[in-house]
Amino acid sequence: MSRITDQWLKCAFYIYPSRPDAEAGRSIGGSGFFVSIGWADNQERRHVYAVTNKHVIMQCVDRVVIRATTKRGEIHFEESDDVQWTPSPTDDLSAIPIKPELAELFESVPERIFVNASEFETNDIELTPLGPGDEVFMIGRFISHDGKEKNHPSVRFGNISMNAAGLRHPGGYLQESIAVDMRSMSGYSGSPAFVYWEFGGNHLINVRRPFHQSFFGLLGVDWGHIPLDLPVLDKADNPVDGQHVRSHTSMSGVVPAWRLRELLDLQPFKHQRAMIEQEERKNPTPLWTLSVKK
C-alpha cells in the first residue's frame, strides 16, 4: 500500500491508568484515537472526541491518562476521571469530549469518512461493495515499544475476513463486529481500523470497481483478538477437568464505525455540541486561538 500520512498516525493516542505510567511508557493500558464532527453552521470548526473501548476505560479504575501527539509533534497529556467517559449502552466503545480550546491541537478522523452499513451492500452492478478481502490497517500502540519522550504509533495490516455479525466478546456478550484477519498483538484495543482499496486495485480477481476511484474510510474500532479456548489434554488426548488454554486466532474484532456514530449521536453529546455552538455565537472565539500550525 501507499505511505500512510502523518495525519492518520497522529490521530492515535495511548491510554494509561496514571500520569507516572504515561510518562514512563509502561506496558499497561491500551490505544485510542481522536474523531471529529463538524459544527452545524460551520464545517470548518470541529467538535473533537477521544474514543477507545469501554473495557480499556474500565481497566483504568479511577484515572484515565491520554498521551497524544499534537499537530506540532509535541507530547500532550490529557487527564480525566473514568466516570467522565460516556460508554456505549450496547457496544465496547467509550468517548469523551475534548475541550474546544484544545480541539485544534490534534489530528482527528472526520465523521464523513466513517464507513456505514450500506457500503457493504449495493445494487449497483458496476460497483462491488466492501467485504472479505478488502485491505485494512490499524494504528495503535506496540506495547513493547511505544516511545518515551515521543509517541511511536505502529501500524498493523490485514484483510476483512467476515462482514459485520454478532461475535462472542470476552465480556460475555455478542458484539456486532467485523472480523479482520489482522497481524497484531495485545495493546491495540481501541485502535482505529481503516479499510481501503487503491486506484485500479482488485481488477485481476473480477471485483467491479471504477478504475478512476480509490476508497478510504474508518472501518471501526478494534476491540481485540477473537479468542479461541482449546482444551487441556492428558497423554491419552482426553480433556483434563474442563481446563483450557487461550489460543491466538489472528482474527481481530472491529466494532463497526456506524456504531461509533450512534454513540456520538447520543443526547448528552448532541446537547454538548449545541451548548458549545450556542456559547460561541454569544462570545466568538478570537481567531488566533482557533488554529495551531502544523
- The region, left, alpha or beta by phi > 0 then psi within -120 to 50, assigned to residue 148 is alpha
pLDDT surpasses 90 at 204: no
Distance CA 75, CA 42 (A): 29
Residue 172's contacts (CB-CB under 8 Å, 6 or more residues apart) are none
- CB-based burial of residue 185 (10 Å sphere; 0-12 exposed, 13-18 middle, 19+ buried)? middle
- State the pLDDT confidence band at 201, using cuts at 50, 70 and 90: low
Domain at 6-289: CATH architecture: Beta Barrel (2.40)
Distance CA 126, CA 200 (A): 14
Helices (H) and strands (E) in the chain, counts: 6, 16
pLDDT surpasses 80 at 212: no
More confident residue, 85 or 172: 85
Instruction: Dig out the grid coordinates for 69 from the structure.
Output: 501527539
Give the pLDDT of residue 187: 63
The answer to whether the pTM exceeds 0.75 is yes
pLDDT surpasses 60 at 36: yes
More confident residue, 185 or 95: 95
